[in-house]
């Protein structure tokens, strides 16, 4: 039993294919995690890196509390089940299951007991003396599972184990693997391209595309709250229908207009209160997504019903229900996708060519930005988008006024405030009424009211009180007036170009009671001609990501947080351009070569200074392939 942690995991194959990019996930002990996505999205590569069958290009992989990047597969306490079973054809089932245990030189009795127990769990006791070729695909896969079980691994890895089985057997084995998982109480990581398998088996699912994680969530949340159009289309059968259109706010409603239909549909604004307001301008293009079960054929347009006309192209009779495929009619010709799939109870006679009236369950609509394809109704919004005014050194929004610290004082202006949720602190002066406190994937989304206007914030803890005091972290805000950013946030991370070098040095070492001055070789990072020694661990990570030769010829970016670099007696030469006083915090805005660097300070320095990053907290990214190594 073990948790598995993947931090900034990358895989770049020798031919340059970036199969996995910045994979981050904490898998808890006893979870059943499914990696799902279309062929080539990087799911097997990720699993094989966990198994140790594939080198990790960069990042840190932990099983339990141990970093296992360089550990042999056999020492990782994992067991893997493959699509092709990988059984030894000349051995009996018994011998196949016992094989690994024999290699580990376990006593005969113990091996026997384990094999018999595993065979019982899997219902293959009567086949123990048979050879794999005498068994069906399903039975062979059970043997492969048996071989994995007897190892009593901390983590079970399964790579498309059911792909070679026919549909009926697959459904049966799916249930059996789920049962086995419950019985064993072990962490399972399961790879499949089949979203039904993922949805029915996983406690959480990782949806991948082109080497990037798209969303990690429970099956229910993926279905109800897909983060982008890809996830929405990939999860659920039949596939979600998508149309292009626009959204326009109209009082307490939003009018959804389809490009390929003359219909206009009114949705309550309460559905879209987390959306970026500019998307509700009636011009910005969005994708409107609806699942087949949320669309139905109706005889008459009800009064408040969202109804559109559809030309039927064909249908699929599934017995208890019928899937009707059609095209939206009316509207602009050729304006994007128009295919619609409808689930009907099959009670009426519908034929190809018919024009039918179709009702849409607007409460179930999904909306995606056409440019980014990200949901415009996210569970956690990225920003509070607020009308604001800067006047006499004060920032005014929602009829509330905040004194601007000197760091962000600017000329009087009217415009839009982009206030990230983590810039709303719960320790300020202004009272806000708590409207709701919603738990979403590890954090609480606070929805509050200030003078009747909504404001979002995040909290690590549940907020039970009806009011909270809020403040603003002015380092994080943006104010846009007349298309110009009159107030800008400071970046949270500074970035320097650097190289990784080897140098000779002398160090005093005590040996047999005598202090000796010894020649040594040390590795470190060179930025702006200043050397910073790398820890052994950091150097090791660079070598294992690149090899010794490439490590010293590659270009890197050293990244350090604005709190993780300080003024020092020696270090990177910098020139202070400005002192930024945010009230609670003071920062120096410095020029380092061509770059601007921000540094937290307690004193107000002027002119030339030296900066020293905290080497335990820096990040290192390789520039050429853009992969994070530390
Ligand atoms: P999936 O399991 O999602 O189908 P894989 O992890 O097998 O995808 O592959 C991810 C990407 O890496 C694909 O583009 C594939 O072609 C590529 N790839 C896989 N194995 C290798 C390899 N040994 N050498 C080069 N490229 C590879």
| CA–CA separation, 609 and 607 (whole Å) | 7
**Residues counted in the chain:** 630
Place of tokens 């992969």: 627
Render pLDDT for 158-213 as a digit per residue (tens, 0 to 9): 999 998 888 888 898 899 899 999 988 899 999 999 999 999 999 999 999 999 99
Whole-angstrom Cα distance, residue 409 to residue 606? 20
SS3 198: helix
Say if residues 580 and 589 touch (Cβ distance below 8 Å).
yes
Average pLDDT over residues 598-614: 94
204-260 pLDDT tens trace: 999 999 999 999 999 999 999 999 999 999 999 999 999 999 999 999 999 999 888
> What was the pLDDT predicted at 154?
93
| pTM confidence score | 0.91
Centre of ligand 1 from the C-alpha of residue 210, in Å = 10
| Pocket flag, ligand 1, residue 45 (CB < 6 Å) | yes
pLDDT tens readout for residues 492-528: 999 989 999 999 888 888 878 888 888 888 999 999 8
| Average pLDDT of the residues of the chain | 92
Judged against a pLDDT cut of 70, whether residue 334 lies above it is answered with: no
DSSP 603-630: S---EEEEEEE-TTT-EEEETTTTEE--
Residue 566 sits at the vertex; the CA angle it makes with 564 and 572, to the nearest 5 degrees, is: 105
Q: State which ligand 1 atom lies nearest to the alpha carbon of 47.
A: 6
**Strand residues in 392-482 grouped as ranges (E):** 394-397, 400-403, 413-420, 424-440, 443-450, 453-459, 467-472, 478-481
The CA 322 to ligand 1 mean position distance, Å, reads 38
pLDDT confidence tier of residue 333, bands split at 50, 70 and 90:
low
The pLDDT tens digits for 350-395 are 889 999 999 988 889 999 999 999 999 999 999 999 999 999 999 9
Q: Are 381 and 350 in contact (CB under 8 A)?
A: no
Q: Which residue's entry shows tokens 């509050």?
A: 448
Q: In DSSP terms, which residues pair with 311 in a beta bridge? A: 327, 355
Ligand 1 atom closest to 44 (CA): 2
Ligand 1 atom showing the smallest separation from residue 45 Cα: 6
Q: Is ligand 1 within 6 A of the CB of residue 88? A: no
Residue from 19, 35, 57, 163 to probe ligand 1 pocket by mutation (most atoms less than 8 Å from CB): 19
Q: Which of 10, 18, 40 to mutate to test ligand 1, by most ligand atoms within 8 A of the CB atom? A: 40
State how far the Cα of 207 lies from the Cα of 214, in Å rounded to an integer: 5
Is the distance from the beta carbon of residue 320 to the nearest atom of ligand 1 less than 6 Å?
no
Q: Is 13 in the pocket of ligand 1 (CB under 6 A)?
A: yes
Closest ligand 1 atom, residue 211 Cα: 10
More confident residue, 252 or 320: 252
Average pLDDT over residues 397-417: 94
Give residue 505's pLDDT. 85
The Cα 341–Cα 239 span in angstroms is 8
Ligand 1 atom nearest to 17, measured from its CA: 26
Q: Is the Cβ–Cβ distance between 413 and 486 less than 8 Å?
A: yes
Q: Whose CA is nearest to atom 2 of ligand 1?
A: 44
Each residue of 97-148: pLDDT tens digit?
999 999 989 999 999 999 999 998 888 999 999 999 999 888 998 999 999 9
Answer yes or no: is the C-beta of 155 below 6 A from any ligand 1 atom: no
List the strands of the sheet with 4-12, edge to edge: 18-27, 4-12, 58-63, 66-67
Please give the pLDDT value at position 347.
74
Strand partners, 151: none
Angle formed by the axes of helices 93-103 and 137-149, nearest 10°: 20
- Residue 1: pLDDT over 80: no
Q: Can you spell out the DSSP letters for 60-90?
A: EEEETTEE-TTS-GGGTTEEEE-TT----TT
Higher pLDDT, 333 or 107: 107
What is the reported pLDDT for 331?
60
Question: Which band of pLDDT confidence, cut at 50, 70 and 90, is reported for residue 265?
Answer: confident
> Which residue, among 353, 334, 359, 333, has the nearest Cα to 263 in the 3D structure?
359
Question: Could you give the CA distance from residue 408 to residue 404 in angstroms, rounded to a whole number?
Answer: 6
- Model confidence at 305, pLDDT cuts 50, 70, 90, reads low
> Predicted confidence band at 306 (pLDDT cuts at 50, 70, 90)?
confident
Q: Looking at ligand 1, which residue's alpha carbon is closest to its atom 27? A: 13
**pLDDT reported for residue 30:** 96
Q: What percent of the chain has pLDDT over 70?
A: 98
d(Cα 479, Cα 484) in Å, to the nearest integer? Answer: 8
Q: Are 469 and 426 in contact (CB under 8 A)?
A: yes
Q: pLDDT value at position 11?
A: 95
- Residue 471, pLDDT score: 95
CA distance 586 to 567: 13
Mean pLDDT of 67-75: 92
Q: 11 CA distance to ligand 1 centroid (A)?
A: 10
Ligand 1 in contact with 436 (CB < 6 A)? no
Q: Is the pLDDT of residue 291 over 80?
A: yes
Q: Return the best residue to mutate from 10, 17, 56, 210 for the ligand 1 pocket (most ligand atoms within 8 A of CB).
A: 17
What is residue 594's predicted lDDT score, i.e. its pLDDT? 86
Compute the distance between CA of residue 166 and CA of residue 540 in angstroms, rounded to an integer. 47
pLDDT value of position 348: 79
161 in ligand 1 pocket by Cβ < 6 Å?
no
Q: For residue 208, give the ligand 1 atom closest to its CA.
A: 3
Exposed/middle/buried for 547, CB within 10 Å: 0-12, 13-18, 19+? exposed
Cα(286)–Cα(279) distance, rounded to whole angstroms? 8
Average pLDDT over residues 403-423: 95
Q: pLDDT at residue 94 above 70?
A: yes
User: Does residue 20's CB lie within 6 angstroms of at least one atom of ligand 1?
Assistant: no
Residue 404, token pair as written in the block: 């601007």
Give the residue whose CA is nearest to atom 18 of ligand 1.
19
Percent of the chain with pLDDT over 90: 73
Write the pLDDT tens digit of every residue in 532-562: 999 988 998 898 888 888 899 999 999 999 9
pLDDT of residue 123: 87
pLDDT tens digits, one per residue of 5-21: 999 999 999 998 999 99
- Residue 19 alpha carbon to ligand 1 centre in Å: 6
Beta bridge partners of 59: none
Residue 481 or residue 266, greater confidence:
481
Q: Whose CA is nearest to atom 16 of ligand 1?
A: 40
Show the CA angle centred on residue 141, arms to residues 137 and 143, nearest 5°.
Answer: 120
Report whether residue 40 contacts ligand 1, using a CB cutoff of 6 Å: yes
Among 562, 588, 592, 572, which residue's Cα sits nearest to residue 525? 572
Q: Is 41 in the pocket of ligand 1 (CB under 6 A)?
A: yes
């Amino acid at each position: 039993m073990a948790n598995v942690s993947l931090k900034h995991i990358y895989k770049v194959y020798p031919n340059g294919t970036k199969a996995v990019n910045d994979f981050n996930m904490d898998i808890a002990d006893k979870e059943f995690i499914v990696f799902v996505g279309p062929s080539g999205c990087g799911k097997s590569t990720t699993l094989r890196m966990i198994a140790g069958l594939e080198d990790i290009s960069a990042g840190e992989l932990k099983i339990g509390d141990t970093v296992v990047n360089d550990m042999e597969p056999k020492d990782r306490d994992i067991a893997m089940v493959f699509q092709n079973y990988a059984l030894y054809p000349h051995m009996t089932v018994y011998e196949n299951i016992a094989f690994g245990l024999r290699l580990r030189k376990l006593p005969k009795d113990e091996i026997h007991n384990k094999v018999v127990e595993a065979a019982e769990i899997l219902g293959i006791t009567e086949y123990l003396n048979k050879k794999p070729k005498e068994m069906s695909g399903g039975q062979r896969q059970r043997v492969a599972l048996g071989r994995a079980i007897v190892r009593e691994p901390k983590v079970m890895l399964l790579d498309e184990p059911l792909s070679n089985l026919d549909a009926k057997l697959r459904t049966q084995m799916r249930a059996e693997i789920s049962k086995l998982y419950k019985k064993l109480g072990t962490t399972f990581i399961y790879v499949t391209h089949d979203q039904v398998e993922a949805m029915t088996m996983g406690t959480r699912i990782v949806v991948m595309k082109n080497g990037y994680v798209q969303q990690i969530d429970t099956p229910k949340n993926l279905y109800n709250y897909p983060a982008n159009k890809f996830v929405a289309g990939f999860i659920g059968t039949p596939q979600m229908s998508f149309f292009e259109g626009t959204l326009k706010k109209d009082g307490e409603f939003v009018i959804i207009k389809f490009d390929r239909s003359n219909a206009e549909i009114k949705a309550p604004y309460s559905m879209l209160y987390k959306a970026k307001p500019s998307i509700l301008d009636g011009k910005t293009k969005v994708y409107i997504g609806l699942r087949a079960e949320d669309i139905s054929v109706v005889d008459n347009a009800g009064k408040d019903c969202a109804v559109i006309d559809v030309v039927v192209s064909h249908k699929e009779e599934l017995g208890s229900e019928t899937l009707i495929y059609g095209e939206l009619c009316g509207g602009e010709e050729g304006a994007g996708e128009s295919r619609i799939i409808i689930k009907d109870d099959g009670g009426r006679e519908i034929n190809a060519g018919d024009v039918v009236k179709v009702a849409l369950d607007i409460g179930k609509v999904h909306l995606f930005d056409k440019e980014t394809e990200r949901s415009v109704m996210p569970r956690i919004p990225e920003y509070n988008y607020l009308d604001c005014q800067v006047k006499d050194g004060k920032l005014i929004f929602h009829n509330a006024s905040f004194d601007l610290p000197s760091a962000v004082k600017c000329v009087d202006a009217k415009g839009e405030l982009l206030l990230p949720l983590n810039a709303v602190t719960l320790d300020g002066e202004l009272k806000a009424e708590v409207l709701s406190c919603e738990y979403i994937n590890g954090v609480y989304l606070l929805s509050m009211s200030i003078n009747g206007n909504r404001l979002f914030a995040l909290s690590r803890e549940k907020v039970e009180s009806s009011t909270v005091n809020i403040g603003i972290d002015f380092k994080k805000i943006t104010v846009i007036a007349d298309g110009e950013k009159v107030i800008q946030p400071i970046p949270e991370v500074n970035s320097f170009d650097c190289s990784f070098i080897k140098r000779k040095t002398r160090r005093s070492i005590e040996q047999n009671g005598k202090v000796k001055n010894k020649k040594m070789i040390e590795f470190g990072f060179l930025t702006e001609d200043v050397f910073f020694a790398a820890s052994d661990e950091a150097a090791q990570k660079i070598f294992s990501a690149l090899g010794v030769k490439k490590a010293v010829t590659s270009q890197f970016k050293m990244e350090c947080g604005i709190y993780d670099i300080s003024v020092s007696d020696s270090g990177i030469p910098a020139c202070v351009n400005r002192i930024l006083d945010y009230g609670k915090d003071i920062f120096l805005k410095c020029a380092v070569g061509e770059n601007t660097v921000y540094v937290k300070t307690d004193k107000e320095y002027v002119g030339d200074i030296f900066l020293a990053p905290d080497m335990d907290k820096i990040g290192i990214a390789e520039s050429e392939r853009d992969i994070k190594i530390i």
